[in-house]
Structure formats: structure tokens, C-alpha cells
Chains A and B, each alone.
Chain A
């Protein structure tokens, strides 16, 4: 009988939102997005890995860390901002203890949140030395994490399918970022939003990429249908292996068990409910409301007649013990369903390994779903009882040439299966600007192949600004209505900066003050060499 395997793949990404110093106060809501991710996902994930290692559990998960996320996590200003954010949370927690002291059930939730904030501070500063990447890298070296590379910024590559220089530059930057932050090369490549278009495998192969992960429809809708379905990898015509994400997703679907009423309601945060005075110290009065991490209620709906800030009925107050038990039960349910399908597949196909790939945005664990990390740990711990291995992609690839050759169909794990939401009526206007800048960058790289000094600095700045503008996160934010004004301004600023670089090179005139300021404003990709945009000869 074939071995049964599950690949758990986490996509860790963050839009490049960098506002240090005084500017950080103006953009505290935008900055807060990363801080919630550190507290909600990345620290708990490292704690989970430590716990599993201590208990000598055999497993490997797959992860991708985007270059913008790594840049932010490794930036000392951002690290300091996070500590200050935690301090404000702790201070707010003490006020909350006082405010809720007459309600024992609520009070216990407040204390839980406060203790979490204190523990996060301790973990971040002492246990992980403000350097989370170092510890993720250590777990990768020990074999608990298989790291995949991805593009420089989170660009939806199908929008550039006719611009191979742009796709190459993004891939090259991402591969270099992987080496820069983790000191290792990656065999596998993660396409942002899982955006696949036919032919990208040729560019990936030229950089030595061995496999990629696609949405299930890329394999299942292929003209040459995969004989093993999603239970084994297949390969493209040039032998890049392709894994198909399992379409039967028990987490992301509408009827997912993460909506269980016992789980903590992550949208129900006192940051949106208390008065500005009650929140003073955590955020500036008059500024945008933002989550605090103090969430006391489970997913049951709040009744309409309740007032913001009102102490709620105890029936709706979050009970961590019940939620934990539910997470254990859901982990068991998840494994049982996967086991059933893997076992059935084992009887249908004659291969050494059958596998299912379960890929998720990392933010799902701990941020969207508070109990998600605990659930993940339970899945890993309980898998052996089902004779299932939690393993990486590489372990499932012996010889690519033995895999069935298919022609993957275009797909994406966003929009209605093709990334449509990144090109809708709210954000399609961006394409004419970013594609024009992309063309110009390729022209510039060809026109100034050997330049040094100020010109090289200008060109490198232009390359960085272009890559920031190419990030489809701005289009996503505009589509989703999450700080769309910020996303639009950020995009516009990068396009205008690029245009200024272009004009400066054309007129042979540069303002060094402007250049220097912008270089320091965006410390992403310090290694940038604009020549990566050159046409391949």
C-alpha cells in the first residue's frame, strides 16, 4: 500500500508598509497589520515548532516568506515599533482589568489577553531576540520547515505574461531574497496568489526551480487529465513538477469548521467598540480605529440592542477551554476526512506515495482563526495515529521524469479561480501605469547597461519603486476596501517616483537630496541591481 502524506503549506506574506519614526503614528493602523501578524501568527508558530521539536514529533511543513515580510521583520525600526505597540497593548490591558473587574467571566478573558501580550513581548525580545527569521531559518535547517521561494514583491504574474523580463526580474529578486534572509536556495517556487499562466514554467526552470504549487483546477482542468488526480504531482513539458492544491478545503470554505460558535470572534475587538477615552494611550484620538487584540467573545452574534462597550451577556463570552477542545475535535475530523480520501486513492493508483496538499495563507492561523495554530499543532501530533506523514514537497519528488506530463490550465487562488479581483472595475486603472513603467524599466536597463555612480543609484531606485508598484497587494486592498486610499496613494507614489527616475535619466539631471531621501525611505532590496530587468540576449 502506498504511504499516505499530507503537505501543509503556509504562505506568509505582508504588503510592504513601512513607516518608521514619527510617520509611524500617522500610519499606525497600517503598521498594526504586521504587528497583529507577529503576535497572532509568527510567534505562536515558532512556539508550536519548538513544542513539537521538544516532543520529538516527526514532521515537516512547507512555508514561503515573502521578501516584503522578511524585510519588515528584519528591520530594527519595525522591531522597535512592535515592542512599543506591545507596550501600549499591555498598558491598555491593565486598564481593561480595572474596567471589567466586576464581571468574573469577562475579567478572566481580559487577563488572558493581557498575559498573551506580556508573553509575546518576552518571547519576541528574549526568546527570539527580535529576530524571528533567524529562528524560522533554524527550524528550516533542522528539517522541520521546507522553504519555498517566491517573487520579489507579491505580483500577480499572469498580468505580465507578455513581459518575460519583468517576470524574470521578479523571480530573480525573490530567489535572491531567499538566499539573503535564509542563506539557502529553494527548490520550489510559490506563485503569488497561485497565479499560473502557461509558459511560466520555462522561466522558472531557467532559474533551477524544480517544482511549483498550483490551484487544483490547473491540474484537474488540464486538457491532458492527470491520471492520479491530485494525489501525486505531475510535471510540465519541461519537467518542472506541479503539485495541485486539494480542492476539498475544510478551512477556507464557507461551511468551514473555523466558523464554529465556540471559537473566538476575531472581528469583535474592543478597539472598535470602546469609547476613544477608554482606548486612550493605545491609539490617538481622532485617528482610525484599529484592533487591539482584546477580544472577549466567541463567534455567536452580538444582539442588536447592545451598546458598544457594554459588558455582554456571559453566554457569549469566550471560553478558551471549550474552544481548545473544539480545535482538537476539528483536527481529528480534518485528519479523518483526509485519511478516508488518501486510503481510497491508495486502492486506486499504484504509486509509492499518495499525498494531498493543503495550502493556506499564514494569516488564517492565529489572526483570522485564533485557535488555528493550536489546531495545526494537533493535526501534526495526531497524524501518525492515522498513518499519515506530515511532510514536504521534496520528500514526494523522487524523479520528475517518472511523473505524468500535463499542460496545466491557467488558475489562481483568488477571485473566481483566475485572479479576477485583481483586475476589476475598482483597480484595473492601475495596469496602464504599472505596465508602462515596467516597459520603461526594461528600456532603461538596456540603455544603461554599465553605468555606475548616480545613474546606477537612480536606476536601482527606479527598479525598487517599480517592484513596489507591481505588488498586487495594492489592487487587492482596493478591491477588498481595506484602506483603499492608502493603497492607492502608495501605488501612485511609487509610480511617480519611478517616473521621476525616468525623467531624470532622460534630462540628465538629478536632485541628490530627493534621491537620498527616497533611498532611505524604502530600504527594501538593498542588493538591487537594475540590470535584472535587461532583455536576455
Chain B
């Protein structure tokens, strides 16, 4: 379709009916309540697209102008992946997704349909050898888990494993390695009844009260 006439000054000269008709020619669906200015804008956008004359020009579709209100969010993005977010310095929220081919592999292995999370600690970001680890068995239908971490560790990585029939494990996905925050000593060592010495200005700032409140909210999680 020839487009050199699709300029704003030309379009402004057309009647509204002609604009709608022109939009129709270009398969642009215009809601009935839109005014001239928007129709002209739509036409100019189409002109711009056509001018680009790229292979990747978009096809204007007239389908489903209104989103389906019952449309649901997808159950899966069909990828095998695990993500770890720190809910606070000692609690992690872990969620994962498993792609169809991995699910099929697990099914073929006739596993007990079980998964496990392997929580692995490291002393350095790029360390090869873990400093410690532990495992959590997960029912296969689960897709998320809260995990209590050790406040004294430095880095954590969590692997999603498939537990095979012979009890061996296959790593399906690994999270990024996360540095665990470390605060002052009092945060991990103080608890009610155990006085901790602070400078007068720290006391005046409310350190005692804050530590007490922190303990009441988190109990031994940080110790």
C-alpha cells in the first residue's frame, strides 16, 4: 500500500468519517468512542511502521480486543529453574519450576516422585568446596518452600534435586549464590537476661530496646 500521503497535515484535512474509513483500510480497529486526534495518531503510527519497511513489521490483528477476564496466570513457564529470595537475613523463600521434559524424565525413572532441596553453604563467593550443607525432602507437587538458614554462614546456594529410584540425586537446577548479611555481634549473641555492653550514645539511640524487640520477633533464628 502506498503511504506518502499519511502525514499529519493531510490527515487533518479529512472528515472524521474519512479517517475511520482510512483506518479500516489499514485494518486498524478503532474503538467507537475515540476522537479524531487518536485516530490520526493511530494512522501515523501505521505510517511509521510501513516506512520502516522491515521484515519484522507487525501484523495488525483484529482478534480479542478485550482481555478475557477469566484468563489465568500460567501454572508453569516450562523451564527448570530455582529462585531464592531472602525474606530476612535468616529465612529464605525458595520457589521453582520444572519443565515438561524433566518431569517426563522423572516419571520415566519411576522415582518416588520426590524432590529435594540441597542447601549448600560456602565461605567464598567462588569457592568450589562447600563449607556445609543440608537437605530438605519436598513432595513433588510442591513448588515453594521457606528455609531457615544459619546466621553464621557466609554464602548460600540452593539446588533443586530429583531423587532417583536408586536414591541417587540429579541436580535439576541451582540458584545463584547469595551472600548472607552479617551485622554486629550483639545481633547473634544477645538474648533477654544476657546484658550486652554498649556505648552510652548507642544506648541513647535505643539499641537495647531494638535488640529486645528483634529477639521477641525472631527468637533464636539469628543465634
Chain A residues at the B interface, C-beta cutoff of 8 Å: 158-159, 162, 198, 216-217, 220-223, 225-231, 244, 246-248, 341, 344-345, 348-349, 409-410, 415-420, 423, 428-429, 431-433, 435-436, 452-455, 457, 492-493, 495-497, 500, 504, 508-514, 516-517
Instruction: Report Cα–Cα, A432/B81, bound state, in Å.
Output: 11
Residue of B42, B85, B89 near A423 (CB, 8 A) is: B85
Partner of B30, one of A231, A345, A435, A513: A513
Contact A229 B205 (CB under 8 A): yes
Count, A-B residue pairs, CB within 8 A: 169
Q: CB distance A230 to B45 under 8 Å?
A: no
Given contacts A223-B184, A246-B206, A454-B49, contact A513 B214 (CB under 8 A): no
| Contacts A220-B210, A419-B88, A457-B45 supplied; 8 other A-B pairs, CB < 8 Å | A216-B210, A221-B183, A420-B91, A428-B95, A452-B52, A493-B67, A513-B30, A516-B38
The interface residues of chain A lying within 8 Å CB-to-CB of B77 are 436
Which chain A residue shows the least CB distance to B202? A229
Find chain A residues with CB under 8 A from B85 CB.
159, 423, 431
Known: A423-B87, A508-B58, A508-B59. A229 touches B204 (CB 8 A): yes
**A88, B64: Cα distance in complex, Å:** 38
CA distance A496 to B217 in the complex (A): 37
Contact B52–A225 (Cβ < 8 Å): no
Do the beta carbons of B63 and A511 come within 8 Å of each other?
yes
Contact of B66 with A by CB under 8 A = yes
Chain B residues positioned under 8 Å from A159 (CB to CB): 85
Is there an interface contact between B89 and A410, defined as CB atoms closer than 8 Å? Answer: yes
* Inter-subunit contact B206/A220 (CB<8 Å): yes
| Chain A CB within 10 A, most for which of B56, B144, B182, B205 | B205
Q: A344-B204, A428-B95 are in contact. Are A511 and B181 (CB under 8 A)?
A: no
Of all chain B residues, the one with the shortest Cβ separation from A249 is B206
Residues of B within 8 A of A221 (CB): 183-184, 186-187, 210, 214
B113 contacts A by Cβ under 8 Å: no
Task: Digitize B200-223: 1 where CB-to-A-CB distance is under 8 Å, 0 elsewhere.
Answer: 111011110110001001100000
Contact (Cβ within 8 A) A416 B89 = no
Taking CB as reference atom, which chain A residue is nearest B26? A512
Q: List residues 62-120 of chain B with CB under 8 A from any CB of chain A.
A: 62-67, 71, 73, 77, 83, 85-89, 91, 93, 95, 97
Binary contact readout B144-164 vs A (1 if CB under 8 angstroms, 0 otherwise)? 100000000000000000000
Shortest CB distance A2–B (Å): 12
B210 touches A509 (CB 8 A): no
Please tell me if B123 contacts chain A, counting CB pairs below 8 Å: no
Q: What are 13 inter-chain pairs, A to B, with CB distance below 8 A? A: A221-B184, A244-B205, A248-B209, A423-B87, A431-B93, A432-B95, A432-B97, A435-B83, A454-B46, A455-B58, A457-B45, A513-B31, A516-B30
A226 to B202, CA, bound (A): 8
> A512's contact among B29, B88, B182, B187, by CB below 8 Å, is which?
B29
Q: How far is the CA of A417 from the CA of B209 in the complex (A)?
A: 14
Is B73 within 8 A of A410, CB to CB?
Answer: no
The verdict on B57 contacting chain A, using a C-beta distance below 8 Å, is yes
Known: A216-B206, A222-B184. A231 touches B201 (CB 8 A): yes
B132 within 8 Å of A by Cβ?
no
Contacting pair A418 B183 (CB below 8 A):
no
Nearest CB on A from B16, distance (A): 16
Residues of B within 8 A of A409 (CB): 181, 183-184, 187
Would you call A495 and B73 a contact (CB within 8 A)?
A: yes
- Given known contacts A453-B48, A454-B58, is B205 in contact with A420 (CB within 8 Å)? no
Q: Judge whether B48 and A452 touch: CB under 8 Å.
A: yes
Contact B204 A348 (CB under 8 A): yes
Residue pair A417, B88 in contact (C-beta under 8 Å): yes
Which A residues lie within 8 Å of B67 (CB)? 493, 496-497, 500, 514
Q: What is the CB-to-nearest-CB distance from B78 to chain A, in angstroms, rounded to a whole number?
A: 11
B8 within 8 A of A: no
Closest to A514 in B: B65
A225 touches B202 (CB 8 A): yes
CA distance A435 to B200 in the complex (A): 44
Task: Give the CA-CA distance A246 to B62 in the complex, in Å.
Answer: 57
Which 3 A-B pairs give the minimum distances between C-beta atoms? A229-B205, A513-B29, A418-B88
Interface residues of B in 168-208 (CB under 8 A from A): 176, 179, 181-184, 186-187, 199-202, 204-207
A453-B45 in contact given A248-B209, A432-B97 (Cβ < 8 Å): yes
In the assembled complex, the CB of B37 is this many whole angstroms from the nearest CB of chain A, namely 12
Which of B61, B66, B186, B205 touches A230 (beta carbons < 8 Å)?
A: B205
Interface centre among A248, A453, A496 (most CB of B within 10 A): A453
A499 to chain B, nearest CB (A): 8
Question: Quick check: is B128 within 8 A (CB to CB) of the other chain?
Answer: no
> Closest approach, in angstroms, between the C-beta of A343 and any C-beta of chain B?
10
Which of B181, B214, B218 has the largest number of chain A CB atoms within 10 A? Answer: B181
Indicate if B28 sits at the interface (CB-CB under 8 A): yes
B60 on the A face (CB < 8 A): yes
Cβ-defined contact, A225 with B71, below 8 A: no
Tell me which residues across on chain A come within 8 A of B62, comparing CB atoms.
Answer: 511, 513
A432, B48: Cα distance in complex, Å: 36
Residue B34 lies at the interface, judged by CB distance under 8 Å to chain A: yes
Chain B residue contacts of A415, Cβ below 8 A: 88
- A420 in complex: contacting residue of B42, B88, B183, B204, CB < 8 Å: B88
Complex contact B34–A516 (CB within 8 A)? yes
Q: Closest Cβ of chain A: how far from B221's Cβ, in Å?
A: 10
User: Considering only CB atoms, which chain A residue lies closest to B218 in the complex?
Assistant: A416
Given known A-B contacts A248-B206, A452-B52, A229 and B201 have beta carbons under 8 A apart: yes
Q: How far is the CB of A279 from chain B (nearest CB, A)?
A: 29
Contact A158 B38 (CB under 8 A): no
